[in-house]
Amino acid sequence: MYTYDKINDNSPPEIKELYKKYISNEKFIIFHKNSLLLNGNALDKNIFDENTFDLIITSPPYNLNIKYNFCKDDLSYEKYLNFSEKWISNCFYWAKNQGRFCLNIPFDININKLAAKRIVNETRILF
């Protein structure tokens, strides 16, 4: 765990509340000015409360058979869509009504672009 700044009396109340809530669960990573960076498993819907975040940024596994320590990255297409639908649904559950969701999708020459477009189009129904 790392803190860039210290939480103090001048910190915004919502930052102090989130800090208190998540510091004990070791989900807290960095605090700076009016921002907290939190880390958690996006497959666990209960890890964060509904309507908590203004901004969610993620770079999920892309099913390219990369050797991660925390998940299998060579699922069948159907299983990968189910996996993606679950974590994307959870992100929208955690986001505030006017929140933003930023998804990093690398479109490079090593990725099957047609498959990547299908995943984006098939999960678009969640938005």
- Evaluate if residue 2 carries a pLDDT over 90: no
pLDDT at 51: 93
Q: Is the pTM of this model over 0.85?
A: no
Task: Please state the domain extents for the chain.
Answer: 1-39, 46-126
92-114 tens-digit pLDDT: 999 999 999 888 876 554 555 56
Angle, helices 113-123 vs 77-94, to 10°: value is 50
CA 31, 33, 36, 37: dihedral to nearest 10 degrees? -70
pLDDT at 111: 54
